[in-house]
Structure 1
Amino acid sequence: MKKALLLFLLCFLLLDTSLQVQGNKTESNTTLIRSFRAGHKTNNGTNKSEYPSILEELEELDSCAMDYFTGILSTRLIPATYAMAVVVGIPSNALILGTLIVKAKTFSTAVLYLSLAVSDLLVMFTLTFKIHYHFSGNNWVFGEAFCQVVTACFYGNLYCSIHMHMCISIKRYLAIVHPFRYKSLPKHTCTIWSTLAVWAVFLVAMVPEVLIRQSYFLPQLGITTCHDVLPKAEEYYTLLLYYKMGITCLGFFIPFIVTVISYVSIIYHLNKSHHDWIYYIKMSTLVFIIFTVCFTPSNVLYFVHSMKLYTSREEYFYIYYNVALCLCSLHCCLDPFLFFLMSRTTGSKLSYITFKGKAMSFSI
């Protein structure tokens, strides 16, 4: 009885999806949580025991997904961009890490940059496995558990990197716009607790990524995908989409708004100052522009992609998202160079006259 009911539901879903596409091509009997549509493979003429039991077989990818998995974009261009980021990012972030460990006890800002360097290094290390995955024709060979860990580590540290930039912008905002309040703050304590809070939040936020199966075998192509294909499961499909949109808002949109307000206020107040802050203004503007260009496209596209999956079950935005994701990896390898540029202003002194006529100065 249960098998008959399940067969009826699968046929109903197949009919429903077939009405939403052009022509007479039959699509899958399930839809995807994350990217492309794929259905569960039936046993008609095929023995499931031929394939590894840990991998669930999926079939009937549409032409869009087939072109992506076999095309030069995902098998050459995307991994080549990742490879350039890794070659530059690992040694440069390691150098910054070694430099900042010594200074972390002296300068509170060094704590934030130290955490940023750690996040960027972890992103770079996970990229090495993604590079192998893409160059191998989008075939994952490291097992399901490691796919879950790499996925959680990659996205979790990207969001940590974004939040570290937000914390740095808030710190500089307080130093310039509210100098007296900033002077009285326990800066080391605040930065350490802020850093720990960010890491704790995203450690918890990435738990669903290690609880959900990420790797699936595709008989049509003879490959095992990691994170790119995930079938719809009715019991948690809607909740998972809400989770994806929520983590995008928490991980990007909220810190982006805070960062915009911080840098706009910084530039506005420095322009009103009688001191020559032109270099600091230029560097702050450059950091903000690079932050916006690198992180905005991928997060906006992912949010739109999630909305499309929820409303119309269209998945082609996932291709655009993967291309835009390359910009995030480039930002992680640019962070050390931005640090060196901004460090030229770190020793600069802000001076204010207190209500008692005494001068107060401190570094930003």
Structure 2
Amino acid sequence: MRIILSSAPLRTLTHKVVAPVLSGLVLCLATVDAAGQDGSAAPAESTPEHLVGDGNFEIGPDYSTDPDLTDQGNPKGKSFEFKMPLAESKIFRGDDSTLDPKKKVRVARRIFVYIPAAYEDGTEAPVLVVHDGPARFDLVRNALDNLTISQDTKRQLPPFIAVAVENGGDDSYGSQRGLEYDTMSDRLARFIDEEVLPAVVEHPDVLAAYPNIAITDDPDGRAVMGCSSGGAAALTMGWFRPDLFRRLITYSGTFVDQQDSDAAEEADFPLGAWEYHSGQKLIENSDKKPLRIFTHVSENDLRNQDPADTYHNWVMANYRTAEALAAKGYDYRFVFSKGTRHCDKKVFKQTLADTLVWAWQGYR
């Protein structure tokens, strides 16, 4: 059985009802009967049922790995890895005045690139940027190997180039990672567009294998994926620069107040990413943007018992974000995973193929 939340508006959560987070929501139950239509129980399956369509979904508490995220022996693409020294960046040099000197900053960040076998040199490829590289890059590679050649037209992926970008170091307030991911600005979008993607297509090793490689400038062909603050960063990249990135994937998104209090952006967005759904309610109060947005939160995600006035309840933040996206009429999908924790790998292993297929839906 799969439980699907109805399209009715999500109830705003308070800290008193976060624990049984679905207790007050309207649910409709869809029973999947593999044996027929007689209402008998479906036989146990070793693989999860695919999630299809927009809206709100609940999964778990039992999980398994989607075969499309495993190595099935299909033709492999080519992998590359190189480093980008922070000191050579014009945007994230590692010397920002908001950084805590006690928190380490990387000298150089690693860039991981995977070009699938289905990519044809000389074509303008779509691209997926993955934050906190090489996080979950193994699953992305397997999805590309399997689904770019899928015979199921409803379950195909375009041969996008995957680029996993390592963060600048450390975490939370005063860190380089926090500066890159939790700041409400277009800086990260510009960094990826102006520095990282050109470095990929100009790298000697990449050019040796693909002399005519190109990445599309079409924002509809550019996706971003991340977890935690990397998830918030994915939304922020699209929100501030929908002319650059429009397909956004966020797991356990940090839509809470993680922005440095001394950041220049604090004057405009004092509650950081909490402003998307609460405070200024940016999603509700802004014109609808041309974005396709996947969001997820775990039942036992970070600070799930905190009251709203802490601005730090991940479950509350993600429910409110989904509610705002639904009310505004966005193309969105929201997944609530039972019995799981922050950025839980078993959620990725069950859902990432479905998420990628959904995220790229409508791309030509």
| TM-score bin (small chain) | under 0.3
| Larger relative helix fraction | 1
TM-score, normalisation: structure 2: 0.24
Which is higher, the Rg of structure 1 or of structure 2? 1
| Larger relative strand fraction | 2
